[in-house]
Structure 1
Amino acid sequence: MSRPQPHRRTRRPRERKARGASRVGERFEVEVGPVGHGGFCVARHEGRAVFVRHALPGERVEVEVTEGTDGDRFWRADAVEILSASPHRVPAPCPFAGPDACGGCDFQHVSLPHQRDLKATVVAEQLRRLAGLDVDVVVEAVPGDADGLHWRTRQRYAHLPDGRRAMRKHRSHELVAVDECLLEAPSPATHVVHGVEFAVADDGFWQVHPGAPEALVDAVLEALDPQPGESALDLYAGVGLFSHFLSAAVDPTGSVAMVEGDREASRLSEANVPGAVAVAGDVATVLACELPGHQDLVVLDPPREGAKRAVVEQVVARSPRAVAYVACDPAALARDVAIFAEHGYRLDSLRAFDLFPMTHHVECVALLTKAALTCGDAIGLLGAEPGNPALRLTLGSL
């Protein structure tokens, strides 16, 4: 999940120019198409895409437009009446889920196994569209929730003027009174992973699903297979969750360096990972100015927007044998995987975890390794047209 970012002065959003008459509140029937990235499905009405929440692929529904004008390329809408239901539709366990209600959940109307199928479809589609890769994706369940409920170990409520607890509607500041959130865990987060207790600030980042830290640590270690004597670089390191276990694996003959933008988290990481180097600062800036040289292993756990080109290119410049990329947004992951590919790194494996049941969010751990270039590959690529990215990659690899 995305982590807090350093404070930045926010700009007042520009007023959106009117694109024609508003269609908000208009109702019509549609056949629901594939799931999209963002907790909706895509339908079409009179040639225009309509992003429909509370629907499922294959259903016929009546929708009500929630955002859209005559001039918009797409509209947003809620399914307000189900005319032909999917076999994967179930009654929402929460009375506050649904159209014109709490916007915290996307998939309460979907059976839990099919929620994971939908998320797998989205991850695969993003990798295909943005990275040109066909990948079979399976979203794995993680211990720690109760049939997709009671997993959120950190929960914040808004409050109505009369003091009642409330949640916000989807894409809105409007509040909905709620008695309780069924995602809220019965107890707060513990910061113990495989018997190790981590120091974490009261308002600091920590995975909210109780099973997430161990699942992610295990996936990263399995992917990287760290060996004694190797050097590791942990980027967006937080309080040093991955670094602690990497440090134990590479033992005193190896080394671990951590970079984290939040200064308090970086300070705590020094206590959580004794002997590791901890640097506080913007990851791209630190990589450009400090920590020179080769690293055998890299862990990337960026915020929702991903690592982006500046960081990816600093990583590949260090020629690691393996990179474990922990991603909470499949589109950002796919974009960065494509940048890695430009520099000779291939997607070797991918695991996806259902750390946010009832929502559209999904966490992935991708392994990127340096692709071996055969003579046949080089001869074929050197015959490519000038300007072809494959040609640039080959010349840089020879």
Structure 2
Amino acid sequence: MSMQATGDEIGRSVAVGDRLTLDIERIAHGGHFIAHAQGLTIFVRGAIKGERIVAEVTQVKKKIAWAETIEVLTSSPHRREAPCHYFRERACGGCDFQHIDLAFQRELKAEVVADSFRRIAQMEIEVECLPAHGDVSGLHWRTRMDFTVTPSKRLALHPHRSDSLTEITSCLIAHEEMDLISINASVERSKIRPWERFRVAVDSDSKVRLSGRDGTVEMKVEKKSFPISIESFWQPHLSAASTLVDQVMELLNMREGDHLLDLYGGVGLFTAFLRDAVGETGKVTLIESDPDAIADAKRIFSGDRRVKVSAGRVEQKIKEIESCDLVLLDPPRSGVAVGPNGVIAEFQRLRPREILYISCDPATLARDSKALVEAGYEMALIRAFDLFPMTEHIESVAKFIRKGQ
């Protein structure tokens, strides 16, 4: 069945495969744009707010539907031809916004952050989404990519919201040294089995590293070297680490002798710079649960009496801390543990004078910001960064100061 209708003509009998003419209203978290019709909220990919488009419904669930743009009737001035044929053919879900000019992508991402705070935290904020250091085009930035190996032993990625696979021979957001044709040839000769995950990484010297062949990747940030496992987390944008380090060093008011907690600290990117700032009498406690990251951090900081690396879940290990002056938070997408036995409850006990929160999810950042305000902190500032151009992902940095200081 196929139908085309507008506004009030659309009923609740909308089904997968139907074609709807929609007026796009605003950006939504998750790479979609919102339209409404006859009691349905419709999340549309490939659109831009202000456009009138024809979309094909891909999923319907109660009062919500999802759809893909198949024709643009009234185009936004910010629309452009997507440079990647996989994106144009909807064959790969790795990018969300290739059809939007880069400057407007960043405006939209700032709107997502502000809207999350308005809806979830009941906070009105002003925020700008800034580029990573040196990022002009939004292309060729990704230094780490995970693929699935197909039965024909080729690298593949998934279309959006799909279990199917598209074999990939090029990627415009991948680092320029990530030659997927050559890497595919290496995969064909390898012993890797179909359906396994395969990671490709590019180190700071632009050398390509492959999972199963290369165990260590050396990353460098401002003359500091981090030899880490290819399986450990590292920000994929080639300038993300230096961009975030600059923010941390600018925004945390560190003093000689401070005890600083680096929570969800990974391999110790920030700890490597924080230990210098707190001086010989200061201390940094890094808490991390991932085994690969912990192994890397213990090796990097071996013999440094200013750094303690603690393996375990943050909500458990923080209970062993008796006092601290500052906190750096860089949690996963799920945010920090809230509630009476959560991390934020421990901040009420420890009473650090400042908390710097680095977040990859605006919704959980808004939720946790509300909890921090209720715990006696005020948000001094928030900045957003476009560390994942062409995608819906946003990195944010928010600073909190204890009230009454």
| TM-score above 0.5, yes or no | yes
Give the match's secondary structure for 2:261: strand
Kindly state the Cα deviation for residue 171 of structure 1 after the two structures are TM-superposed. Answer: 1.1
SS of corresponding position for 1:199: strand
Alignment partner of 2:371: what SS?
A: helix
Which residue in the other structure is 1:278 paired with? 309
Taking the aligned partners of 1:329 and 1:136, their CA distance within structure 2 comes to 17
Shift of 1:164: 4.0
What are structure 2's unaligned runs of at least 5 residues? Answer: 1-11, 178-201, 205-218
- Answering whether residue 208 of structure 2 is matched by residue 194 of structure 1, we say no
Contact 2:39 2:63 in 1 (8 A): no
Q: Which residue of 2 aligns with 1:10?
A: none
CA distance in structure 2 between the partners assigned to 1:269 and 1:92 by the alignment: 40
Is structure 2 residue 198 aligned with structure 1 residue 206?
A: no
Structure 2 contact 344–375 (Cα < 8 Å) conserved? no
Aligned equivalent of 2:378: 346
- How far 1:95 moved relative to its partner? 0.7
Q: What is the 5 A alignment of 1:124-139?
A: 124-139=114-129
Contact 2:379 2:398 in 1 (8 A): yes
2:272 pairs with 221, 238, 244, which one?
Answer: 244
- The TM-score, its normalising length taken from structure 1, stands at 0.85
From 387, 390, 395, the equivalent of 1:355 is 387
Q: Decide whether the 8 Å contact of 1:42 with 1:51 is kept in 2.
A: yes
What SS does structure 1 have at the residue aligned with 2:309? strand
Residue matched to 2:327 = 298
Mapped partners of 1:34, 1:316: distance in 2? 38
2:363 maps to what in 1? 331
Q: 1:67 to 1:87 in 2, by over 3 A?
A: same
Q: Distance in 2 between matches of 1:343 and 1:114?
A: 36
1:14-38 Cα offsets, whole Å, 9 max, x none, are xxxxxx9771111110100110000
- Cα distance, 1:367 vs. partner? 0.4
User: Which residue identity is paired with 2:203?
Assistant: A
Structure showing the higher strand proportion among its residues: 2
Distance 2:271 2:149 in 1: 39
Tell me how far apart the structure 1 counterparts of residues 223 and 399 of structure 2 sit (CA, whole Å): 26
Partner of residue 161 from structure 2, selected from 171, 187, 192: 171
Is 1:216 equivalent to 2:244 in the alignment? yes
Q: Tell me the residue number matched to 1:267.
A: 295
Amino acid at match of 1:328: C
Asked whether the 8 Å contact 2:231–2:292 carries over to 1, the reply is: no
Distance 2:364 2:343 in 1: 13
Q: Map 1:11-160 onto structure 2 (within 5 A).
A: 23-69=15-61, 72-98=62-88, 100-143=90-133, 145=135, 147-160=137-150
CA deviation string 1:92-113 (max 9, x = no partner): 0101104642111110000000
Bigger mean CA deviation after superposition, 168-177 or 139-148: 139-148
1: CA distance, partners of 2:293 / 2:224: 17
- Number of residues of Structure 1 aligned to a counterpart in Structure 2: 350
Structure 2 Cα separation of the partners of residues 173 and 60 of structure 1: 30
Aligned residues of 1:54 and 1:99 also touching (Cα < 8 A) = no
**Identity within the alignment, %:** 41
Unaligned runs of 5+ in 1: 1-19, 374-398
Give the 3 Å change call, closer, same or farther, for CA 119–256 of structure 1 in structure 2. same
Match of 1:308 in 2: 337
Q: What's the offset of the Cα at 1:202?
A: 1.8
SS of 2:66's equivalent? strand
The one-letter code matched in structure 2 to 1:345 is Y
Worse-superposed segment, 111-120 or 194-203: 194-203
The answer to whether the Cα contact below 8 Å between 2:271 and 2:284 also exists between their aligned partners in 1 is yes
Query: Counterpart in 1 of 2:175?
Result: 185
Q: Deviations over 1:348-390 (max 9, x none)?
A: 11111110000010101110111229xxxxxxxxxxxxxxxxx
User: Residue 125 of structure 2 aligns to which amino acid in structure 1?
Assistant: V
Distance 1:99 1:314, change over 3 A: farther
| CA distance 1:167–1:144, change in 2 (3 Å) | farther
SS in 1 for 2:85: coil
- What is the distance in 1 between the residues matched to 2:203 and 2:66? 35
- Residue by residue over 1:246-291, the C-alpha shift from the partner in whole angstroms, topping out at 9 and shown as x without a partner, is 1100101111111000133223223333221111001101112x12
**For 1:154 and 1:283, how far apart are their aligned partners in 2?**
26
Q: Output the CA distance in 2 between the equivalents of 1:234 and 1:61.
A: 47
8 Å contact kept, 2:274–2:284:
yes
Report which stretch shifted further, 343-352 or 135-144.
135-144
Offset at 1:144?
5.1
Contact residue 27 and residue 65 of structure 1 kept, 8 A: yes
2:191 matched to which residue of 1? none
How far does residue 146 in structure 1 lie from its aligned partner after superposition? 5.6
CA 1:145–1:185 in structure 2 vs 1: closer, same or farther (change >3 Å)? farther
| AA partner of residue 24 (structure 2) | V
State the AA in 2 paired with 1:350.
I
Distance 1:177 1:267, change over 3 A: closer
AA partner of residue 308 (structure 1): A
Structure 2 counterpart SS, 1:106: coil
Change (3 A) 1:200 1:329: same
- Structure 2: which amino acid aligns with 1:46? Q
- 1:217 maps to a residue whose letter is V
Separation in structure 2 between the aligned mates of residue 139 and residue 186 of structure 1, nearest angstrom:
25
Query: Deviation per CA, 1:117-161, whole angstroms, max 9, x where unpaired?
Result: 000000011111111211111111113546111111012333443
Partners of 1:144 and 1:210 within 8 A in 2: no
Letter in structure 2 aligned against 1:192: K
More moved, 171-180 vs 236-245: 171-180
